[in-house]
């Protein structure tokens, strides 16, 4: 393909992908399959790489991310980002409407919109191209989050049509749909990270991430609701409709109202149906529609006089706290759970609420027998926010936190500085053992789908398996005929399981097949604390085998990418335990993969075998991730920090001064991108490459 053909094809692909994005994200009406879409995008990315002169900041390839923001630049807003006067009282909404009527002395039309519960964003478009995205900050200046915002599919990178103003500012709210929120939290829990409290916090945290590729994975969304500045429209509604035509996402839940009754009717309808929306809203915004009237009403120092936000009260009910149960998780953490008199809240019957830990129970003075207030905010699990002291029965009992594990009786421990209690009986406490087995067989670990929670329960109850290595000793004759009725955790429904011939055959086959699972997943499956999927992959890539990991000391572990002190300690502790060493020995004997195979790595060559690189700065031909992948593709290793074991520091533009100093002090050669390309292209190995300047 020559340059001209490439230019044309890039233009064509860009237009086509933009249209498909709009159809998919804004209209929810895709016209091609995901597979076809990915094909178009891949072609565009390939061409842009080959012909970088045609790279365009508005290219839809920006959606996949890759850019890193180290520090978010502070930017002053052209028009301050004001907040809205808000109220929980219907009376104050009526007063607002009365005040406006009096001030204007004429008929007024209102637009009622959703009040999106997310993070406010101000976008600037120059000649139809997104050039800047800034958070609200203190209203006067905010953070430049443009690179991250470009990954949000519903935000146009280039506007549609030709009648947009050459300079356009628009305001909206970045939100995280509840489904995406649940997925993120599920993953965080799996990786033993603190889950986000609600979608708003998750959206705000996502926007401030340094790696835009990570942001792209978060599936953020954005609705627009305001165009500051002088536009040639008569009403707010016309502004929004024009914005919609230019490609912005405008909610369909919006009404024109001529009087207060119509306003309340919309408020009530949305209050009742808000749980059916795929994202959180926390109220309704009421705005004067005519821009002329808005101008006349003006602003106070903080907010416009022409708008008000009516906020929904968090749904709260009162019910009785019947008892407290203690749940033991896979890692031994013990969580107190309130058993409540069942009560209807936000469309579901609530019977339980998390009480988090001992300190929270004490600080809220929660006693058994109390009438408690239960609330559902953005959170999935309802929480007890307080107690009705006036109605406290004389018989209410102070909570004495469990001293022993409810499952195995072992005295519970609480580490200094930590809020949680935990059961230290890792190898003998049933939920911990079963939890570890369930983790081991799970889809992302060994993926033994012929086993599941119920079947693991039977195997454990019959003393056939008490640890993950026992699975590989199972024989068909031990399993045939076993059965059990059990209560499924996901829906508390009773299920009956019986091990007939076919079931047993599948179980044995599934276990046998799992021996083919690659090292990184085996490493994740064995259940080292804090070693989630991503960390396991980094460890596997860096060390190559379990033997190397077991040999590594604290410092050596920390040299691997993304391995901090907490994870390094946890790995050391795991392998120090003789029981774990024995399990690894048995699993090895059964033939599980405990090292990376070259085919698995899909190596291009072994030119960099035995070399460890520290990558620093930015590169011309590669993004940082790409150059690291290239190192691995030639059998080299990446390390996060420079040490005496580093072979080369691969330096791009703007290498950090600290790194340069450290490399010099340890006499580690610093090589350039060109040196590196020569190393992997040539027959020579890296030995002959000199220092870069």
What is the distance between the alpha carbons of residues 524 and 532, in angstroms, rounded to a whole number? 6
Does residue 96 interact with ligand IVH by CB under 6 A? no
The contact mask relative to ligand IVH for 613-642 (x = CB under 6 A, - = no) is: ------------------------------
Tell me the two tokens of residue 385. Answer: 């926010």
Does residue 116 interact with ligand IVH by CB under 6 A? yes
Q: Which is nearer to ligand IVH, 82 or 482 (CB)?
A: 82
Q: Please give the angle made by the CA atoms of 246, 249 and 252, to the nearest 5 degrees.
A: 115
The contact mask relative to ligand IVH for 125-164 (x = CB under 6 A, - = no) is: -----------x----------------------------
Nearest to 96 by CA among 307, 270, 281, 335: 307
Q: Stretches 4-12, 304-312, 432-440, 544-552: which one binds ligand IVH (CB under 6 A)?
A: 304-312
Does residue 304 interact with ligand IVH by CB under 6 A? yes
What is the distance between the alpha carbons of residues 420 and 422, in angstroms, rounded to a whole number? 6
The contact mask relative to ligand IVH for 336-375 (x = CB under 6 A, - = no) is: ----------------------------------------
- Binding ligand IVH (rule: CB under 6 A), the pick from 75, 242, 309, 405 is 309
Q: Which is nearer to ligand IVH, 311 or 320 (CB)?
A: 311
Q: Stretches 112-120, 237-245, 324-332, 517-525: which one binds ligand IVH (CB under 6 A)?
A: 112-120
CB of 236 to ligand IVH, least distance (A): 9
Does residue 225 interact with ligand IVH by CB under 6 A? yes
Is residue 208 part of the annotated active site? The answer reads no
- Segment 36 to 95, residues that bind ligand IVH, using CB under 6 A: 82-84, 86
Write out the H or E segment, with its range, that includes residue 324.
strand 315-328
CB of 347 to ligand IVH, least distance (A): 23
Does residue 285 interact with ligand IVH by CB under 6 A? yes
- Which residue minimizes CB distance to ligand IVH? 120
- Binding ligand IVH (rule: CB under 6 A), the pick from 20, 77, 115, 558 is 115
Q: Tell me, by CB under 6 A, how many residues bind ligand IVH.
A: 18
What is the distance between the alpha carbons of residues 244 and 242, in angstroms, rounded to a whole number? 5
The contact mask relative to ligand IVH for 226-265 (x = CB under 6 A, - = no) is: x---------------------------------------
Nearest to 377 by CA among 284, 313, 309, 310: 313
Tell me the two tokens of residue 459. Answer: 């195997």
Query: How many Cβ atoms from other residues are within 10 Å of residue 242's Cβ?
Result: 20
225 contacts: CB under 8 Å, gap ≥ 6: 113, 116, 171, 172, 173, 240, 250, 251, 285
What is the distance between the alpha carbons of residues 613 and 640, in angstroms, rounded to a whole number? 9
Q: Which is nearer to ligand IVH, 132 or 534 (CB)?
A: 132
Q: Stretches 89-97, 189-197, 301-309, 442-450: which one binds ligand IVH (CB under 6 A)?
A: 301-309
What is the distance between the alpha carbons of residues 26 and 248, in angstroms, rounded to a whole number? 8
- Catalytic residue chosen out of the listed positions 49, 70, 102, 115: 115
Write out the H or E segment, with its range, that includes residue 15.
helix 3-21
Q: Are 448 and 514 contacting, i.e. CB atoms less than 8 angstroms apart?
A: yes
Helix axes of 430-441 and 453-461: crossing angle, nearest 10 degrees: 130
Backbone angles phi, psi at 546, to 5 degrees: -70, -30
DSSP per position, 374-397: EEESS-SS-EEEEE-GGG--TT-E
Residues serving a catalytic function are 115
Residue numbers of the site for ligand IVH (CB under 6 A)?
82-84, 86, 113-116, 120, 136, 171, 173, 225-226, 285, 304, 307, 309
């Amino acid at each position: 393909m020559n340059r001209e053909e490439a230019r044309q094809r890039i233009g064509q692909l860009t237009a086509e992908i933009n249209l498909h994005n709009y159809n998919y994200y804004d209209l929810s009406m895709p016209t091609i399959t995901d597979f076809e879409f990915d094909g178009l995008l891949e072609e565009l990315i390939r061409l842009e790489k080959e012909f970088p002169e045609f790279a365009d900041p508005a290219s839809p390839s920006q959606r996949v991310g890759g850019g890193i923001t180290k520090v978010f630049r502070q930017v002053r807003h052209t028009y301050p980002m004001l907040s809205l006067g808000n109220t929980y009282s219907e009376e104050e909404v009526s007063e607002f409407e009365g005040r406006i009527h009096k001030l204007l002395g004429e008929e007024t039309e209102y637009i009622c919109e959703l009040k999106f519960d997310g993070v406010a964003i101000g976008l600037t478009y120059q000649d139809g191209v997104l050039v800047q995205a800034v958070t609200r900050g203190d209203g006067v200046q905010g953070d430049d989050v443009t690179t991250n915002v470009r990954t949000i599919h519903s935000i146009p990178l280039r506007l549609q049509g030709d009648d947009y103003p050459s300079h356009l500012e628009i305001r909206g709210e970045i939100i995280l749909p509840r489904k995406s929120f649940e997925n993120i939290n599920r993953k965080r829990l799996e990786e033993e990270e603190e889950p986000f409290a609600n979608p708003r916090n998750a959206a705000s945290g996502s926007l401030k991430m340094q790696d835009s590729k990570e942001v792209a994975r978060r599936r953020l969304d954005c609705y627009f609701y305001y165009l500051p500045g002088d536009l040639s429209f008569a009403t707010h509604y016309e502004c929004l409709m024009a914005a919609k035509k230019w490609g912005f996402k405008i909610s369909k839940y919006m009404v024109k109202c001529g009087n207060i009754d119509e306003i309340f009717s919309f408020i009530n309808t949305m209050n009742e149906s808000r749980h059916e929306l795929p994202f959180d809203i926390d109220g309704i915004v009421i705005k004067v529609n005519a821009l002329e009237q808005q101008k006349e009403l003006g602003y106070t120092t903080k907010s416009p006089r022409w708008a008000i936000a009516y906020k929904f009260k968090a749904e709260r009910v009162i019910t009785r706290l019947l008892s407290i149960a203690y749940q033991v998780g896979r890692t031994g953490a013990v969580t107190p759970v309130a058993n409540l008199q069942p009560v209807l809240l936000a469309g579901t019957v609530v019977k339980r609420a998390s009480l988090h830990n001992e300190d929270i129970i004490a600080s809220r003075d929660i006693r058994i027998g109390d009438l408690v207030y239960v609330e559902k905010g953005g959170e999935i699990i309802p929480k007890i926010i307080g107690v009705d002291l006036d109605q406290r029965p004389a018989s209410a009992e102070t909570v004495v936190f469990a001293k022993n594990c409810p499952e195995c009786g072992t005295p519970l421990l609480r580490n200094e500085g930590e809020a949680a209690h935990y059961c230290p009986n890792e190898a003998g406490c049933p939920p911990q053992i079963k939890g570890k087995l369930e983790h081991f067989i799970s889809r992302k670990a060994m993926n033994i789908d012929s086993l599941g929670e119920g079947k693991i329960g039977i195997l454990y109850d019959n003393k056939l398996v008490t640890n993950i290595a026992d699975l590989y000793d199972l024989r068909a004759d031990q399993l045939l005929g076993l059965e059990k009725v059990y209560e499924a955790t996901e829906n508390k429904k009773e299920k009956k399981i019986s091990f007939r011939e076919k079931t047993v055959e599948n179980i044995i086959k599934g276990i046998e097949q799992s021996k083919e699972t690659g090292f990184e997943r085996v490493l994740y499956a064995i259940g080292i604390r804090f070693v989630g999927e991503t960390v396991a992959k980094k460890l596997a890539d860096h060390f190559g085998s379990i033997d190397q990991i077991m040999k590594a000391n604290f410092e050596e572990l920390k040299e691997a990418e993304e391995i901090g002190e907490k994870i390094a300690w946890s790995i050391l502790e795991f392998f120090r335990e003789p029981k774990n060493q024995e399990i690894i020995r048995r699993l090895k004997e059964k033939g599980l993969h405990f090292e990376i195979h070259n085919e698995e790595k899909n190596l291009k060559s072994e030119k960099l075998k035995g070399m460890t690189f520290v990558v620093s700065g930015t590169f011309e031909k590669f993004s940082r991730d790409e150059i690291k992948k290239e190192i691995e593709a030639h059998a080299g290793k990446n390390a996060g920090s420079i040490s005496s074991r580093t072979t080369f520091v691969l330096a791009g533009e703007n290498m950090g001064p600290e790194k340069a100093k450290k490399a010099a002090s340890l006499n580690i050669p610093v090589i350039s991108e060109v040196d590196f390309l020569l190393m992997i292209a040539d027959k020579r190995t890296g030995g002959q490459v000199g220092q870069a300047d």
